[in-house]
Amino acid sequence: MSLTLLDFPTLVRTDVWFSDGNVVLIAGSAAFRVHKGQLERHSEIFQDLFSVPQPEGQLLFEGCPWVELHDSPSDILHLLHALYDGLYFDKPSGDDFPAIAGVLRLSTKYMIEHLRQRCLVRLTTDWPSTLAGWDAREKVATDKDGRYGPREAYPHPLLVISLALELGITDVLPSAYLDLARYGPRRIVSGTPLPQPVISSVPLTGTKDCLEGKSRVLNSSRTPATDEEDILVPSHAELSAILRGREVGQRHIAMFIENELVSRPISGRCFNKHHDAGRACRESTYFVMLNILRAIGGISHGRDADPLFTLTQVVEMLGRTDFTDGVKQCGLKMCAACKMDVEECVVAARKDVWEQVPLWFDLGPWKGSKEEVVLDAEDSEEIARAI
């Protein structure tokens, strides 16, 4: 006996429904008619699933065997679109995250390695583990007019943290924590709305249409309306780590200003050292310090408590020509040698910040970093002593 959608009035036929498909996947309230061969070709799990002998007299669904999957219908839809249409990203976009998360989640579960790797590459590019990668990421999020819009290019970091913890993708956590720590405390605590599912996980209405023989098709680009949004908020432990890291980062910048800008000596190669003991260079450094303090850690540029951006501003000021001496616009009167010393100091400071970022959030050092090697050596000595 073959059943049809008329026998399941609350079941929705999705847009992944091939007339020549030979198996129906059912997840929640959604049905997908696909090809066994397409799934078996990419997944050993599906190979094993379809190889299980079916009992005699099993009911068919529109002439096809059917399998119930206990996964999110939206995730199944994203996975099938990726298998049939490919997984392509023209440019970074926060709107891509539901598809990336869904495909990564199920490609991991069903061992579809090529899709899993594509998702991981995208995820680790957007949430890098290198300073060069972070700088490239920030450049993408800044338009030609200098406007910084990270949420247009990348999803909210809480969504990434949640996915990373779910799937054990620890490499992206420091970048996500750093991004989140740049929010003000109130915004951090408020969390972010969870992406609305493309397909609801609960039975949908539409019984009348089904009974009249009109199978309902749900467009994958349309989200069912809901009265209230589900909000993802940081846990107590996450919130504690985020606020602690934010505080440590601000303290780190305060120490940089105190140690490297306040009363900074002129370079030994200073071109102005014979002119009033390099006063022009010392005053320029003081002017840079005042402007950094006025920027309040980047908040005037939409980056609250951003130590890496604050350090970048120091170098940018050295090359600016839009300052004023009260009469005309001009640049700093700092000599080239002193500028080079400040730039080298900032480069070293930014590297130091990046190395410490994971430690600020109690995540342990970057993989392969000097700190990790030192910790591993200490762990080995501890084990040796215990033995």
Angle subtended at Cα 28 by Cα 232 and Cα 99, rounded to the nearest 5 degrees: 50
pLDDT value for 212: 33
Q: How many CB atoms lie within 10 A of CB 311?
A: 24
For residue range 119-170, list pLDDT tens digits in order.
999 999 999 999 999 999 999 999 888 888 888 999 999 999 999 999 999 9
pLDDT value for 225: 39
Contact criterion met (CB below 8 Å) for 246 and 305: yes
3-state class (DSSP) for residue 2: strand
How many Å apart are CA 103 and CA 118, to the nearest integer?
10
Q: How many CB atoms lie within 10 A of CB 334?
A: 27
Contact criterion met (CB below 8 Å) for 104 and 116: yes
SS3 letters across 130-197: CHHHHHHHHHHCECCCCCECHHHHCCCHHHHHHHHHHHCCHHHHHHHHHHHHCCCHHHHHHCEECCCC
Q: Say what the pTM is.
A: 0.83
> Is the predicted pLDDT of residue 24 greater than 70, yes or no?
yes
Contact criterion met (CB below 8 Å) for 100 and 169: no
Q: What is the mean pLDDT of residues 78-94?
A: 92
For residue range 164-187, list pLDDT tens digits in order.
999 999 999 999 999 999 998 999
State the residue for tokens 């599906």. Answer: 46
How many Å apart are CA 201 and CA 226, to the nearest integer?
13
Give the pLDDT band (50/70/90) at residue 204: very low
Q: How many CB atoms lie within 10 A of CB 259?
A: 12
> Is the predicted pLDDT of residue 235 greater than 90, yes or no?
yes
pLDDT value for 57: 76
pLDDT value for 62: 85
Give the pLDDT band (50/70/90) at residue 213: very low
Q: Where are the alpha helices (DSSP H) in the chain?
A: 36-42, 44-51, 73-85, 97-109, 113-126, 131-140, 150-153, 157-167, 173-181, 185-190, 207-211, 236-256, 279-295, 307-319, 336-360, 370-386
Contact criterion met (CB below 8 Å) for 134 and 308: yes
Q: What is the mean pLDDT of residues 357-368?
A: 90
Q: Mean pLDDT check: name the lowest of 41-55, 159-173, 238-252, 369-383.
A: 369-383
Q: How many CB atoms lie within 10 A of CB 68?
A: 10
Phi/psi-derived region of residue 157, left when phi > 0, alpha when psi is between -120 and 50, beta in every other case = alpha
Q: Mean pLDDT check: name the lowest of 224-238, 255-269, 343-357.
A: 224-238
Q: What is the mean pLDDT of residues 243-270?
A: 93
pLDDT value for 305: 82
End-to-end CA distance of the chain: 68
Give Cα separations from 186 to 73, 127, 234, 248, 310 (angstroms). Answer: 34, 23, 12, 18, 21
3-state class (DSSP) for residue 291: helix
pLDDT value for 70: 94
- Dihedral sign, CA of 148, 151, 155, 161? positive
How many Å apart are CA 277 and CA 286, to the nearest integer?
15
Contact criterion met (CB below 8 Å) for 25 and 31: yes
Give the pLDDT band (50/70/90) at residue 366: confident
pLDDT value for 1: 54
HSE of 26 in the Cβ direction (CA atoms, 13 Å)? 17
How many Å apart are CA 227 and CA 277, to the nearest integer?
69
